[in-house]
Amino acid sequence: MSALDSIIAGVREDLEQRRIPMGQLLEGVELAPKVRTCLPSLLTQEISVIAEIKRSSPSKGSLAPISDPAGLAATYEQAGASVISVLTEQRRFGGSLADLDVVRKAVQIPILRKDFMISEYQFYEARAHGADVVLLIVAALGQNQLDDYFQLSKELGMSALIEVHTHDELERALEISPEIIGVNSRNLKTLEVITQAFAELIPQIPSGIARVAESGISKREDVIFAHECGATAILVGEALVRADSPSVAINQLLGRL
């Protein structure tokens, strides 16, 4: 079993434990705050930042306790982040939907629910908890699932970040006409980071699509490399949550300090 398969198995188990009646969930969707649009901020000439709230990861273990996710999100926003990514997977990443709730109330910028979306239920759940964007990992989904979940995201008003790791996955992603594609340099099956994936895949993404470089970004030189490859945004978690000052870390990545 690959690392991705193991994570998804745990996601399925946890989902069944927290599932509530669909009628109750739909009531939550109706009461959810209005969706915030993220696409314009991810297509600016200057590279933008998706700043992530992440306590741990399968590859690195514990990263930071993050007792105040709302405060961290507010710091990210004040430092110039365009989107806040909130890990809601519990077993491997230490996240929760409660994190999503408090972060949504703390900031005015869009919120990405970062999780392994393998059930329609999770999309309604994401919107009910205030998510503006969801993650669709091509490696975890069949093509029909990918298309169906993308359409469902749009029906619920949310954007979708379509994550790819290989040429084949990129081809599959382009078939659904996405607005945002993320190239993850970490292979979720082996957890190995190969930043050359940015150079190989990002230039193949059409210019009208927001192009996000994910994983392996910890210093200014990494941002410059991603931008030169064509990235319009970077998604950064570990380097920010481990920093003494997340605000300073963001400004250093963006070359402001």
Cα 111 → chain centroid: 9
Q: Is 13 in the active site?
A: no
Q: Check 41, 52, 77, 125 and give the catalytic one.
A: 52
16 catalytic residue (yes or no):
no
**Enclosing H/E stretch for 8:** helix 3-18
Q: Is 54 a catalytic residue?
A: yes
Torsion of the alpha carbons at 123, 22, 156 and 13, rounded to the nearest 10? 0
189 included as an active-site residue: no
Neighbouring residues of 93: CB distance < 8 A, sequence distance ≥ 6: 54, 55, 56, 57, 58, 87, 114
Catalytic residue among 54, 56, 96, 125: 54
Which one of 48, 56, 96, 215 is the catalytic residue? 215
Catalytic residue among 41, 57, 96, 184: 184
Query: Active-site residue 192, yes or no?
Result: no
- Segment holding 148, helix H or strand E: helix 143-155
**Catalytic one of 82, 89, 96, 114:** 114
Q: Which of 77, 89, 125, 214 is catalytic?
A: 214
Query: How far is residue 90's CA from residue 14's CA, in Å, rounded to a whole number?
Result: 8
114: annotated active-site residue = yes
Three-state DSSP state, 78: helix
Complete DSSP assignment for 13-41? HHHHHH---HHHHHHHHHHSPPPPP-HHH
Which token pair is 235?
């998604």
The active-site residue out of 77, 89, 163, 238 is: 163
Look at the alpha carbons of 49, 42, 39, 191 in this order and tell me if their dihedral is positive or negative.
negative
**Among this protein's residues, is 163 annotated catalytic?**
yes
Active site residues: 52, 54, 114, 163, 184, 214-215
